[in-house]
A and B are shown apart, each in its own frame.
Chain A
């Protein structure tokens, strides 16, 4: 095979991959190895592929992804801590033909914002909710999250999460799946190219239903790593996640077309 020169490689006809134009050129604020960047990218790729660049409004949370609006190149609102589903509710009801999604972490969605999460899902708001669960408060420096695993050490559970002291990790995704308002509830990860492709297909399916006007909330959990918060290398953190988190937060569809999946 003849070697291509750099000039030839960058010719448009030789390009095999490019960054979606719906990600800005700003350097991501995430730690190297974190899953947020991949989750952002596949979400924006879906919006671009669906041709909804000019009809989408996204809601950023408070947490590591507080600056999501710096990276996602669509109209964005930065919500107060936990309230993204309420913000998204109003936008979708006032602009029913627009595409509306929220993007939240575990502290935002499953602790301070539990009421907004449950009620938006229970009303069946026709929005896509993307939920990044890395079992820790990354931005504030590694405190315990509602989804922190039992025994897991964080700065506010320095001896490991103890149920008697801290309570149980919250499976909010299984919880919202029980609500009649949710249409599509699924759990994925982005730690391998194959997993990221599956997650992207789920995100696309969720947005396609919203665009088609199929009523009901789409809720996509992405179990992700926090290598800095967990104090591991990126590879070790992904291995730890697969070994320890996937058994408790199993990957796969929980509810499809409004019907719970029999396990």
Chain B
């Protein structure tokens, strides 16, 4: 059993970065995730593990620091909240194009614009449909507890290096701010410089003696060469889609209906399942863990088995619901329910939406 602590989600994430053997964290304060860099600066991981922590001048600088650090084969991470993540999108596109591994955490708040500082899930499109320019995808993990804020950090680093890609962790202000019990995993030692040179021959950390220089770039001026590069990226994304779909089912075996939710909304929907079952309504929960690649296959299986409908529960105007509809392809009912602008729906509201939009509809 690992060390047990009562922590905020943001603190658990910061502690997990140190324990995951991260080499560097570069970030800029923004509510509701500033505890990440506050925790790191107070914890002084440079004394614990040698990890570098730097408060950058902007989110634009932070994401480009990840480009530099990740491009040398080091484990680097940043975190921010919605407006800051918007600022990073150009950099994320370059990271995807240059195939540089890193971890980017979005503790989502209400938008658009400056919005507010309350929890929201309105950055789904930004996270999984591109965000920045060009044909790219990002493996995206959605924690639904403080425990997962910790557990998903090493998973994200593994994915980042396995596929040489930036990886997103999409949380929200609720998971970031709330305190829960968390079992911390045992520290993973940082890679030594020698291990990095050995493991990542692509990385630009000094030309090997007698070898060729390495280049980190996303520039391919010849369109045919750029097309080849894009095909290579697409093959990688196909591989990720095949291997890295993550989801969880609750009370789904006998279900007539399924809630589909992630993050905070999935915690609320759990309670809605309980309330519905007490009323004799057979509903289950499909909790989406990887927003991309999306759990289209399991949705297809439930559709084939004759499920009566899916209710997408998101704190947004309905974004993930589009991916559910794509998987269902018109074969059964798909509806959306969610509050907007940082308002958190209640379990009762979710159940009521199920009754009105699917059962009664």
The residues of A with any CB-CB pair to B shorter than 8 Å are 53-57, 59-60, 66-67, 69, 73-80, 83, 86-91, 93-95, 98, 115-116, 118-119
Contacts and interface: CB of A to CB of B under 8 A. Distances in A.
Interface string B45-75: 0000000101011101110111111011010
Given A53-B207, A80-B94, A93 B217 contact: no
A94 B57 CA distance: 18
A67 B215 CA distance: 11
B223 interface: no
Given A53-B207, A88-B68, A89-B65, A77 B26 contact: no
B342 interface: no
Interface in B201-251: 204-209, 213-219
B159 interface: no
Contact of A69 (B57, B64, B94, B217): B217
B347 interface: no
Given A90-B24, A95-B205, A83 B216 contact: no
Contacts of A66: 219
A74 B215 CA distance: 9
Given A77-B216, A86-B56, A57 B206 contact: yes
Interface residues of B, number: 39
Contacts of A98: 205-206
Nearest to B193: A95
The 5 closest A-B pairs by CB, nearest first: A87-B68, A78-B217, A90-B68, A83-B64, A90-B65
Contacts of A88: 68
A56 B206 contact: yes
Contacts of A116: 57, 60-61, 64
Contact of B65 (A76, A87, A118): A87
Contacts of A69: 215, 217
A57 B98 CA distance: 16
18 contacts: A54-B208, A57-B72, A73-B207, A76-B216, A76-B217, A78-B98, A78-B216, A78-B218, A83-B64, A83-B67, A86-B62, A86-B65, A87-B68, A91-B72, A94-B23, A94-B76, A98-B206, A116-B57
B91 to A, nearest CB: 6
A80 B24 contact: no
